Structure 1
Amino acid sequence: MLCRCPDCGQGKLFKGFLTVTDHCPACDYDFTTLNTGDGAAIFVMQIAGGIVVFGALFVQVAYDPPVWAMLMVALPLVAGLSLGLMRPAKGVMVALQMRNKAAQVHNDEF
């Protein structure tokens, strides 16, 4: 959750916003065999979308604000939640792959 190496807890996990480093600078763990793909994005979209949609539905039914006001609040909220949750979610996906000793499987291995 802190975007640090799941193996040692010291080195940085990301070298950009969502780019996982090749190896940990502290313990030299190799991250090249791990690949989360779009897994984290799927969970983040479901969580952020659910929070914003159900919150907007509640506000619409309870207070009946104009549509432009709902858009002015809902769009930045979903964008902020999505961007804020993406790095920790991807870090959790990498940590889960490491814990379960998951690796990439190629078609020629079957």
Structure 2
Amino acid sequence: MFKGFLTVVEHCSICNLDLRKADSGDGPAVFLTLVLGTLLVPSALLLEVSTEPPLWVHALIWPVAITLVASLLLRPFKATMIALQYRHRASDSGTETYD
């Protein structure tokens, strides 16, 4: 589905669906932000309460963790959003039919 890190190919190699019109917009990033906040904020708080590390430890750990998790999950979230657009015939995906 992807030809680059986040660039969508023009056509599906299996069903020949035109994916140029499938634009997920900011949806995947919004959902990813919610997931990251739900997972990493309690983790940071737990680390702070349990070990009370210096501030530089938090400054070292959490930006790396956020970047790594976001990089790993952004493609699946984008693919899921495009699949949902196709499944529910969202008008932005170009899959609606006019009879």
TM-score of the aligned structures, taking structure 1 as reference length:
0.77
Of all paired residues, the percent bearing the same amino acid is 37
> Quick check: which one's helix share is greater?
2
Partner Cα distance (1:75, 1:33) in 2? 33
Which of 33, 53, 63 is the equivalent residue of 1:75?
A: 63
Give the deviation of 1:62 after TM superposition: 1.6
Partner Cα distance (1:97, 1:69) in 2? 41
2:67 is paired with a residue of what secondary structure?
helix
In structure 2, the residue matched to 1:95 is 83
User: RMSD across aligned C-alpha pairs, in angstroms?
Assistant: 1.5
Question: Which 4+ residue blocks in structure 1 deviate beyond 4 angstroms?
Answer: none
Q: How many residues align?
A: 93
TM-score of the aligned structures, taking structure 2 as reference length:
0.85
Answering whether residue 56 of structure 2 is matched by residue 56 of structure 1, we say no
Give the deviation of 1:21 after TM superposition: 1.1
In structure 2, the residue matched to 1:16 is 4
Give the deviation of 1:100 after TM superposition: 0.3
In structure 1, the residue matched to 2:96 is none
Partner Cα distance (1:46, 1:81) in 2? 12
